[in-house]
Amino acid sequence: MQFQFLGTSAGMPTLQRNVTALAVSIENQHNWYLVDCGEGTQQRMLQAGLNVLRLKTIFITHIHGDHCYGLPGLLASANMNNRQEPLTVCAPAGIEEYIRAVFQHTDVHDLRYPLHFLRSDTPDFSYMDNVIHAEAIALSHRVPSFAYRIEERLTYYPLDKNRLLDAGIPPGPAWGELQKGNSINLDDGREIHPQSVCSGSAKKRAIIVGGDNDQPSLLQAAMQRSDVLIHEATFTESVLEKIGPKYMHSTAAAVAKAAQEAGIAHLLLTHISQRYSANSNKPDNSLKALRNEAEREYEGNLLLAEDMACYQLHSDGTLTEVNKQSASGKNSKAK
């Protein structure tokens, strides 16, 4: 499972960060998925090499503009690119009405592709295709806001490379079949079962992508069934004390504490206020302040999201950064 940040800023863009959007994909699958679509997402998609014709489904967490203002343009561009395949938008109330109104007043009509809206704020919401299953978890914000837990439907076995090599199975397609749980037949007549070369039980990878939310503990149960939490950390505790709770956003400390209590392995903080930057001469407004605050509460793998950063969640639960094209056009380095 792979995900790439197309925007990591809160509220409005900066020179380094666009507003919220995240691309999600599964290995060896033709299509990909988008969670939120702030203004400027199309530019980031072009920089990332993401084809709008292969976009399967869009998930919107809530109606605020930094999470959805890019959606009408993206849908219109798909039409101009002669998209034929259906496209589904999973979103709470207001998003469909917003899109229909924009299309009506900007002369977008006669879509070449079927556009379906699926309400994610209903108790029975569940999205499923042949690749992923997504569920929505209600959060706490000024408007109805949701997190999406996205789980792969294919089951992967964590393979033991030493066992594979000892059995005389070199890297190649056979490894992929065993990882999917399929037995293989070797040229010498042996039948190899996945259980004989795996390092653990089969597991489905799952990530949580949160919308705006001032109560991270609402995701406690979902985190216990997931590998990665991607959640807003708009402020530090010191800033929240100054501005008060009226904006209903999380602090780095609050998210980290909830993640620690749930025991989730990987935490990625995003939706970062414009006041924080890597080169700030004010200690309280540095990205390091956010990181330090979170590190005091969380002992797992902590990362601060950056635009265009791409991560691979492996079948064994480890997370690595992928070498992808950066927003500046230069290759980013894997960590």
CB 9, CB 20: distance < 8 Å: yes
150 CB-contact burial (10 Å; exposed 0-12 / middle 13-18 / buried 19+): buried
Catalytic residue among 36, 66, 212, 307: 66
Quote the CA–CA distance of 249 and 235 in Å, as a whole number. Answer: 7
The region that residue 292 occupies, defined by phi over 0 for left and psi between -120 and 50 for alpha, beta otherwise, is alpha
Sequence-distant (6+) residues with CB within 8 A of 118 are 88, 89, 90, 91, 125, 127
CA distances to 14, 107, 273, 293, 302 from 277, in Å: 10, 40, 9, 15, 18
Quote the CA–CA distance of 332 and 334 in Å, as a whole number. Answer: 7
Neighbouring-strand partners of residue 21:
7, 37
Strand ranges in the chain using DSSP code E only, listed in sequence order? 2-7, 21-25, 32-37, 55-59, 87-91, 115-119, 127-128, 132-138, 146-152, 184-185, 191-192, 206-209, 228-232, 266-270, 301-304, 310-313, 319-322
| 66 classed as catalytic | yes
Neighbouring-strand partners of residue 325:
331
Catalogue the active-site residues.
66
